[in-house]
Amino acid sequence: MNYISGFEFVEQFERNVPLWLAEENDPIGLHIGDLSYPIKKMMITLDIRPEVVEEAIENNVDFILAHHPPIYRPIARLDLTNQQNKMYANIIKHDIRVYAAHTNLDNAQDGMNDWLAEALDLKEIEIMDITRRIPLKRINVYVPHTHIEFVREAMTAAGAGNITANYSDCSYQVNGVGRFTPVQSAQPTIGTVGVPEEVAEVRLEVIFEEKDTQAIIEALLQSHPYEEPVYELYSIEKNQELAFGLGRVGNLKEEMSLKDFVEKTKKAFDVKGLRVVTTNPDQKVKRIAICGGDAGKYYKKAIQKNADVYITGDVYYHTAHDMQADGLTVLDPGHHIEKICIPKLSKRVLEWKQQFDWDMEIFESEVDTNPFLFDHEL
């Protein structure tokens, strides 16, 4: 049996959805339990509610991966007549670990807001509001042909050459001729003191995250055959591939009426109805901004991106007035559209299970945690 511990799973998960992507004061990460024990059956859910915990208990789940954190505020008293507190007690009683990935999953690449944008078939998708970037560096080093692979492998082993999560061991090289004259007390690998030398060299270029700078330079110096290797270090600015932030903006394949787009949105997110804020019900729409959850306060970011429509949940009454005054059309399909995370996270964990040969069952919660009904559904 190749069971993995909670620590091992979280380490893999946070490589893809790191904690530093979360918004300030968001209580992400482990909420309940001990990560040192193995995971045998994992449940994936949007919300942690008493009925979801009962579902987990009935299905012998020992680890819950959730989007919404169950504990937003400190617990003052463990009064078990309170249903929320009783839920925590049941989680502990049945040795269930609970881990939450909230705004870090919202902001991640191939995360919540990308999934929502893709559900609407948006094209040319970009981040609505870039709030974080990974600082990048590029290093150029001049290496004799005889040692190029040795130096390249040492630098990539130290973390160089990774471009997003999709490409590794990336580098570029240019052939040239290095000229130098060793003088005084030099101890050259190639050449003789006082004699001008020419060597067939390669200029090797690799990029890396700024945090790995010292490790990359040390790997270069330890692997390079020269007494004094020549290298150049540069900063890379505005790399879109390593940017993160709130919401997404994209374009519909074809312009359509607002009425037709409302129907498209309802179908995409499997909702029976939604709220519409607009001053122009007859408008044509093509450029769409979306931000999952309660993100009404960010609507001006959608305006800055020239969106015709902004989609988010839990729009407040007075915020809707401001949206109208600013001429923005807004659709509020509710917070529960984030249930899209359940099959998406399940697919990702299944891929890791197959890749690393984990012995783990994966269970998708089937409890409907949406608290709202439309009157025609009664």
Residue 166 has pLDDT above 80, yes or no: no
pLDDT of the residue at 125: 96
Please measure the distance between the N-terminal and C-terminal CA atoms of the chain and give it in whole angstroms.
48
Same domain, yes or no: 219 and 356: no
pLDDT of the residue at 238: 59
pTM for this entry: 0.82
Angle (CA) 326-330-333 rounded to 5° is 160
Q: Is 319 exposed, middle or buried (0-12, 13-18, 19+ CB in 10 A)?
A: middle
Would you say residue 373 lies in a domain?
Answer: no
Residue 363 has pLDDT above 70, yes or no: yes
Same domain, yes or no: 66 and 87: yes
Would you say residue 372 lies in a domain?
Answer: no
The total number of structural domains that make up the chain: 3
Residue 164 has pLDDT above 70, yes or no: no
Would you say residue 58 lies in a domain?
Answer: yes
Same domain, yes or no: 199 and 343: no
The residue-averaged pLDDT of 233-260 equals: 88
The residue-averaged pLDDT of 246-259 equals: 97
pLDDT of the residue at 73: 86
Same domain, yes or no: 263 and 323: yes
Same domain, yes or no: 8 and 97: yes
Give 187 or 288, the one with higher predicted confidence: 288
Same domain, yes or no: 121 and 258: yes
pLDDT of the residue at 291: 98
On average, the pLDDT of the chain sits at 94
Residue 241 has pLDDT above 70, yes or no: no
CATH number at residue 158: 3.30.70.120
Residue 240 has pLDDT above 60, yes or no: no
Of 30, 212, 33, 238, residue with least CA distance to 139: 212
- Comparing 80-94, 150-164, 245-259, 337-351, the range with the smallest average pLDDT is 150-164
The residue-averaged pLDDT of 79-97 equals: 96
Would you say residue 376 lies in a domain?
Answer: no
pLDDT of the residue at 186: 84
Same domain, yes or no: 140 and 226: yes
Would you say residue 27 lies in a domain?
Answer: yes
pLDDT of the residue at 182: 87
The residue-averaged pLDDT of 240-251 equals: 87
Same domain, yes or no: 51 and 74: yes
Q: Which domain holds residue 118?
A: 109-129+246-333
Structure confidence by residue, pLDDT tens digits, 300-337: 999 999 999 999 999 999 999 999 999 999 999 999 99
The residue-averaged pLDDT of 284-299 equals: 97
Same domain, yes or no: 205 and 255: no
Say how far apart CA 61 and CA 42 lie, in whole Å: 6
Token pair belonging to 121: 């078939």
Would you say residue 223 lies in a domain?
Answer: yes
The residue-averaged pLDDT of 329-349 equals: 98
Single residue among 191, 218, 238 that ends a domain in this structure:
238
pLDDT of the residue at 208: 92
Would you say residue 224 lies in a domain?
Answer: yes
Are 134 and 242 spatial neighbours (Cβ–Cβ below 8 Å)?
yes
Same domain, yes or no: 278 and 317: yes
Residue 71 has pLDDT above 80, yes or no: yes
pLDDT of the residue at 261: 98
Would you say residue 378 lies in a domain?
Answer: no
Residue 274 has pLDDT above 90, yes or no: yes
Residue 187 has pLDDT above 90, yes or no: no
Same domain, yes or no: 347 and 326: no
Same domain, yes or no: 189 and 255: no
Cα-based distances in Å from 234 to 46, 141, 180, 244: 43, 12, 24, 22
Say how far apart CA 18 and CA 103 lie, in whole Å: 10
Single residue among 204, 238, 272 that ends a domain in this structure:
238
The residue-averaged pLDDT of 215-239 equals: 90
Instruction: List residues bridging with 314 in a β-sheet.
Output: none
Residue 22 has pLDDT above 90, yes or no: yes
CATH number at residue 273: 3.40.1390.30
Structure confidence by residue, pLDDT tens digits, 27-44: 999 999 999 999 999 999
